[in-house]
């Protein structure tokens, strides 16, 4: 029997590692079920789901040129058996604000207020930068007053 990508076959678990399980397929070939393809939920320990000697239905995901066969147990299950993932809640998006803009004024402001806010912020940044560079010079180049 030829192993084709997309086909579902019955196989026997022959070995378990920390990254997956080896499954013997009909015809004597062996494929690997990666730990991420064992179940729909997070699998911390594969031994909680599979044991050597278990018969499992697997779906052939890929067959590489060197003979390696990638398998999936979770994709072999019919859609009805697979638990439905809950819909991810959508966060309201407001493109006018960044996360550090929460304390600033709303975006509907006139040009003059935007310009004055910009100048104030710019002056604060420049004075902070100037203080930092003067302190690094050790007072040699700093103004004395």
Could you read off the pLDDT tens digit of each residue along the chain, which spans 145 residues?
568 888 899 999 999 999 999 999 988 899 999 999 998 888 899 999 999 999 999 999 999 989 899 999 999 887 665 566 677 777 776 665 555 555 555 567 788 888 999 999 999 999 888 888 887 776 555 555 5
Q: How many CA atoms lie within 13 A of 65 on its CB side?
A: 0
Length of the chain: 145
Q: How far apart are CA 41 and CA 45, in angstroms?
A: 12
Q: Which helix (H) or strand (E) segment is 32 a member of?
A: strand 30-34
Is the CB of residue 141 less than 8 Å from the CB of residue 134? yes
The two three-digit tokens of residue 127, written as one number: 């004075």
| DSSP 3-state of 84 | coil
Contact residues for 60 (Cβ-Cβ < 8 A; gap 6+): 3, 4, 5, 6, 7, 8, 9, 31, 69, 70, 71
Which pLDDT value is given to residue 121?
Answer: 93
């Amino acid at each position: 029997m030829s192993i084709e990508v997309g086909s579902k076959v019955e196989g026997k678990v022959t070995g378990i590692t920390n990254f997956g399980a080896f499954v013997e397929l009909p015809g004597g070939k062996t494929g690997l079920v990666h730990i991420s393809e064992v179940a729909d939920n997070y699998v911390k320990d594969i031994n909680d789901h599979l044991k050597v000697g278990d018969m499992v239905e697997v779906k052939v995901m890929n067959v590489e040129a060197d003979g390696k066969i990638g398998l999936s147990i979770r994709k072999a299950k019919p859609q009805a058996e697979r638990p439905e993932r809950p819909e991810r809640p959508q966060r309201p998006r407001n493109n006018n604000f960044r996360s550090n803009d929460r304390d600033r004024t709303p975006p509907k402001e006139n040009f003059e207020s935007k310009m004055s806010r910009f100048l104030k912020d710019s002056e604060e940044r420049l004075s902070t930068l100037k203080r930092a560079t003067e302190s690094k010079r050790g007072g040699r180049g700093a103004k004395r007053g």
